[in-house]
Amino acid sequence: MHEFIFHNPTKIDFGKGREQHIGQHLADHHITKVLLTFGSDRIKKDGLFDTVVASLTEHNIAYVELGGIVSNPVMSKVYEGIELAKAETVDAVLSVGGGSVLDSAKAIAAGVKYAGDAWDLFIGKGAVTAALPIFDILTLAATGSEMNSGAVVTNETTKQKFAINSPFTFPKVSVVNPELMKTISRDYLVYSAADIIAHSIEGYFTATEQPKLQSRLVETNIKTVIETTEILLENPNDYDARAEFAWAATLALNGLTYAGTAGFSYPNHMIEHSLSALYNVPHGAGLSVIMPAWMKWYRHKNPEQFKRFGKEIFGGTADEGIAHLEAWFDKIGTPTRLSQFEIDASEINRIKENVAGNAQYFGIADIYTDEVITKILLDAL
Amino acid sequence: MHEFIFHNPTKIDFGKGREQHIGQHLADHHITKVLLTFGSDRIKKDGLFDTVVASLTEHNIAYVELGGIVSNPVMSKVYEGIELAKAETVDAVLSVGGGSVLDSAKAIAAGVKYAGDAWDLFIGKGAVTAALPIFDILTLAATGSEMNSGAVVTNETTKQKFAINSPFTFPKVSVVNPELMKTISRDYLVYSAADIIAHSIEGYFTATEQPKLQSRLVETNIKTVIETTEILLENPNDYDARAEFAWAATLALNGLTYAGTAGFSYPNHMIEHSLSALYNVPHGAGLSVIMPAWMKWYRHKNPEQFKRFGKEIFGGTADEGIAHLEAWFDKIGTPTRLSQFEIDASEINRIKENVAGNAQYFGIADIYTDEVITKILLDAL
């Protein structure tokens, strides 16, 4: 087991109606004015916005709105948020939405405290040394951003989808009400399932040190996601399945499964980020295309762990494990082929070039050479 | 899944040699003088004390010693610590030892900030509303106290083994170096294994709401403890097994497995606390005596979960699960009979009376009547 520091200070307030506590949570932290970030106007139609505002008002907390944050969130919106937060001198950022809204909120919170161009923080030109306090009400479970310090944003100009990470960008409080997630579309449910499974397997397969305890934790999350996704596809109103799905999403990327492991990397994310950046495909959908192809290429590099995966998750061999996962993606309806995005062989070079940039950034350019990436992409056609 | 708040702010610094960081951790929290609590003088002989003092000195942190804390720690020592901490105006408590030393440190930290008799905090006459910051270097993995807010202490006068719990008694930083644990005696290793399994099964079997995700997390811990105990009995120097054992101990009682569950209780602890309070038996050893007897009595109240336990942990039926666990305790050499403590039938009434007091305290006196406790104790003879 590798040495580690585990420190996750985020408070999770989980359950039905918990969004009504948000004013109290902010008041506990002496917040008086927030930048309220969100995506589409859907939250204004379904009552969530009103509930949040009522709770803020009850605690005399002022707010400024920043709506219109899109999936695969973009730096232009982050810049807009930073300007607004500064002009209005808010003392916190409150995200109401899924991972894209929350990641934008984190980037804004860090950007406000950084003197230079906020993109510097993503490319290692600057470091996050402070951030406005971050709070959120989660409406989609997938990224795990509600209990970690990461934020992924796309720079539309450079076509780079990069991340920040710092001790300052853990949310102070994340409100997770699974009931708010029951209106998620069928597509986004299955993309989210793929996303959580991707978060689970990246470390599980690539770590050079991966204790059994941590493997079991990962398998717990994967089994839960498979089981609850199937229940939710039958009955989107099953609260308990929705809740277990949501909590598995949080546990998959809150540092717990990684504590004690070492040498891991995020190759599936590295490749997928290029698909999102170039074609704006949903992140989870991109991942379900890349994972089976990557697994077929990678399996001989860690045969024992693939054997374990096949047995523990699907009760079969290593090869059956990969085949079953791909078949399960097909069954639930998340893409497994680039052709499903209308991406054909003529695009391989373009993707490959973008991935090459990511490979530098992810620190695994030595393994993921042009040849390797081409092989994986061709297999995913 | 039940609603919950999860907030565990403890920083874990895990790995070889991490005790050398303790001065830095204290300095990070602006600590200038600590009450240094420990058990026997063993730490002065094996070099740990010197390492700690060197790290404190490097960061200009003064210290006052409070040694001599015993297993099943007692209030008289806590009172002594409170007086010393006040007289010396320390600004933190640093525990170097196992759960008993750490629980005493927590009780002292809370007691210093309480105007009345610190025992009030244990019997609900007073509430913990503040505490000195708590830090620790763990030398025995079992209680999970290093990542939770609980502390269990015995009042020798009233023969009560009770607990405190508050948001103020989470350690700020816990240093966990599995290498420091390799000199644990064979007996204490197997008692610790029983203790961790007890922490795991209490909620697992008694919760009225127990999602599968949480059951899987519990099973992860139990499987890890069984596997690593067997490795350590063969080879006490196996670092990785020692490390997984230690981290499983932490995860078994840091709130994670309980988040989303409801209606659970601690009947095995309730009964065992009487054994410790009356006969000063090692806590884990008392638990391994009580668990099989309790399981046989309780199994028909939650047949599905016992079926799950038998299958997931031992690949058998519910009854086989209980029998296998008892056989495993016998095999590793932790007691499974009261007679192994030289407690015979003539003591049943005395134990029963003490348990009756605990049952009130644990809030399950309606279930654990005289008759039920007698039945379980007789079965454990």
To 10 degrees, the CA torsion angle through B215, B219, B222, B225? -130
Shortest distance, CA B153 to any CA of chain A (angstroms): 27
Q: What pTM value is reported for the model?
A: 0.96
Give the Å distances, CA to CA, from B310 to A300, A354, B210, B335. Answer: 35, 51, 17, 21
Tell the burial category of A323 from Cβ atoms under 10 Å away from its Cβ (0-12, 13-18, 19+): middle
Bridge-based pairing of strands B160-165 and B134-138 is unpaired
To the nearest whole angstrom, how far is the Cα of A232 from the nearest Cα of chain B?
15
Using CA coordinates, name the residue in chain A closest to B25: A5
Mean pLDDT along residues B156-181:
95
B173-176/A33-38 β-pairing: unpaired
Judging by DSSP bridges, how do beta strands B160-165 and B150-155 pair with one another? antiparallel
CB B26, CB B187: distance < 8 Å: no
- d(Cα B333, Cα A353) in Å, to the nearest integer? 61
B83: closest CA of chain A, how far (Å): 32
pLDDT at A111 over 90: yes
Average confidence score pLDDT of chain B = 97
Q: Residue B155 — φ and ψ, nearest 5°? A: -90, 110
Q: Measure the N-to-C terminal CA separation of chain B; round to a whole number of Å.
A: 38
Q: Which residues of B touch A171 (CB under 8 A)?
A: none
* β-pair partners for A34: A63, A92
How far apart CA A217 and CA A220 sit, in angstroms, is 5
pLDDT confidence band for A310 (50 / 70 / 90): very high
Using DSSP, how many helices (H) and how many strands (E) does chain A show? 15, 9
Residues of chain A with a CB closer than 8 angstroms to some CB in chain B: 1-16, 18, 178, 211-213, 216-217, 219-221, 223-224, 227, 239-240, 243-244, 247-248, 251, 256, 259-260
Instruction: Tell me whether residues A223 and B240 touch, CB distance under 8 A.
Output: no
Tokens of B93: 């408590």
Decide if pLDDT at A159 tops 90: no
* Whole-number average pLDDT of chain A: 97
Q: Using an 8 Å Cβ cutoff, are A266 and A202 in contact?
A: yes
Our CA-based measurement puts residue A247 at a distance from the nearest CA of chain B, in whole angstroms, of: 9
- The whole-angstrom separation of Cα A308 and Cα A321 is 9
- Residue B107's pLDDT band (cuts 50, 70, 90): very high
Choose the mutation target among B3, B16, B24, B257 for the interface with A, i.e. most A CBs under 10 Å.
B3
3-state secondary structure string across B289-335: HHHHHHHHHHHHHCHHHHHHHHHHHHCCCHHHHHHHHHHHHHHHCCC
Nearest CA in chain A to B226: A213
Q: With 90 as the cut, is the pLDDT of residue A322 above it?
A: yes
Q: Map out the domains of chain B with their CATH numbers.
A: 11-180 (3.40.50.1970), 184-379 (1.20.1090.10)
* B220:A220 CB<8 A: yes
* Contact across the interface for B244 and A7, Cβ inside 8 Å: no
What's the whole-number mean pLDDT along residues B369-379? 96
Compare all CA atoms of chain B with the CA of A238 and give the residue at the minimum distance: B1
- Closest chain B residue to the Cα of A18, Cα to Cα: B3
Those residues with Cβ within 8 angstroms of residue A178's Cβ, 6 or more apart along the chain or in another chain:
A15, A16, A141, A239, A242, A243, A245, A246, B1
A161 pLDDT above the threshold of 90 = no
Per-residue pLDDT tens digits for A366-380: 999 999 999 999 999
Mutation to test the A interface, candidates B220, B222, B261, B308, most A Cβ within 10 Å: B220
Please say if the pLDDT value at position A360 is more than 90.
Answer: no
d(CA A218, CA A204): 7
User: Is-contact A287 A272, C-beta < 8 A?
Assistant: yes
Residue-level pLDDT at B69: 97
Residues B216, A223: contact at Cβ < 8 Å? yes
pLDDT score recorded for residue A361: 84
- Convert the pLDDT of each residue in B321-356 to its tens digit: 999 999 999 999 999 999 999 999 999 999 999 999
For residue B76, pLDDT over 90 is answered with: yes
What residues contact B315, with CB distance under 8 A and at least 6 apart?
none
Q: How confident is the model at residue B199 (pLDDT cuts 50, 70, 90)?
A: very high
Q: Kindly identify which residue of chain A lies nearest to residue B245, measuring between CA atoms.
A: A213
Contact B243 A4 (CB under 8 A): no
**Mean of pLDDT values over B210-223:** 98
So what's the pLDDT on residue B360? 86
- The three-class DSSP label of residue A223 is helix
Residue A289 has pLDDT above 90, yes or no: yes
| Cβ atoms of residues B146 and B178 within 8 Å | no
Which chain A residue is nearest to residue B312, measuring alpha carbons? A312
pLDDT of residue A132: 98
Provide the token pair at A248: 């598995």
> Could you tell me which of B116, B127, B124 has the C-alpha nearest to residue B168?
B127
With beta carbons under 8 A apart, name residues in chain A contacting B178: 1
pLDDT in tens, B29-53: 999 999 999 999 999 999 999 999 9
**Residue A119 pLDDT greater than 90, yes or no:** yes
pLDDT score, position B222: 98
B198, two tokens: 């007890």
Q: What is the pLDDT of residue A185?
A: 95
Q: Nearest residue on chain A to B13, judged by CA atoms?
A: A5
Cβ–Cβ under 8 Å, residues A52 and A19: yes
Work out the pLDDT band at A80, boundaries 50, 70, 90. very high
Which chain B residues contact residue A7 at CB under 8 A?
Answer: 9-12
Rounded to the nearest angstrom, the minimum Cα separation between B69 and chain A is 28
Q: Rounded mean pLDDT of A36-57?
A: 97
Tell which phi-psi region holds residue B235, choosing left (phi > 0), alpha (psi between -120 and 50) or beta.
beta
Size of interface A-B (CB pairs under 8 A): 107
